């Protein structure tokens, strides 16, 4: 992975199925690109089927290139924590396993501190956050059929029942960060 040029930044989050996470962050103004993939494990160049086998240690994640002059990392954290369940270990809805764990892979100390503070604040509200906050090491891009999944398959049952409510929530709660035009 290379960090964005021209003052852009990168955020890497795993909050369940990367089809959902990609669709959610793709709605936000200031997000330049969202790419689904795998990170947080030990296997090199894993495939989807290897990650599904639970033998790689990787989670399904998204790499988000964003413009911090338009949207902050803290706002991305807010969207992340509001669009998945950070209190249930290795599960998001019907999706279970370590590949669906809640994970923030920070790319610098500022991101690490912001994520840790965000979690402390949620814990202080009585939530028991299980989200891992770990140093980013390597991102492996997902296969082509996983990219833009919601956009290409929005009529499917999974997209309608699982992804669409998350996208609707983002559109409602974060409308100030919606793309212009």
> Catalytic amino acids?
17
Distance CA(14)–CA(78), nearest Å, equals 14
- The gap from C-alpha 101 to its chain's centroid, in whole angstroms, comes to 11
- Cα separation, 180 vs 61, whole angstroms: 26
Task: Give the span between the Cα atoms of 177 and 72, in whole angstroms.
Answer: 10
Percentage helix, strand, coil, to 5, in the chain? Answer: 40, 20, 40
């Amino acid at each position: 992975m290379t960090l964005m040029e021209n003052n852009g930044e990168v955020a890497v989050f795993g909050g369940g199925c990367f089809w959902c996470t990609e669709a959610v962050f793709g709605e936000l103004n200031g997000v330049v690109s969202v790419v689904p993939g795998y990170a947080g494990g030990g296997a090199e160049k894993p495939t989807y089927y290897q990650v599904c086998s639970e033998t790689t240690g990787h989670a399904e994640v998204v790499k988000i290139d964003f413009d911090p002059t338009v949207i902050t990392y803290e706002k991305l954290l807010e969207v992340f924590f509001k669009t998945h369940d950070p209190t249930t270990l290795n599960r998001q809805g019907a999706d279970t396993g370590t590949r669906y764990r809640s994970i923030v892979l920070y790319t610098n100390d500022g991101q690490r501190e912001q994520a840790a503070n965000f979690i402390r604040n949620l814990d202080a509200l009585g939530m028991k956050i299980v989200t891992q906050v770990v140093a980013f090491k390597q991102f492996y891009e997902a296969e082509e059929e996983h990219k833009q999944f919601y956009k290409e398959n929005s009529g499917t049952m999974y997209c309608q029942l699982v992804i669409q409510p998350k996208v609707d929530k983002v559109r409602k709660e974060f409308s100030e960060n919606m793309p212009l035009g």
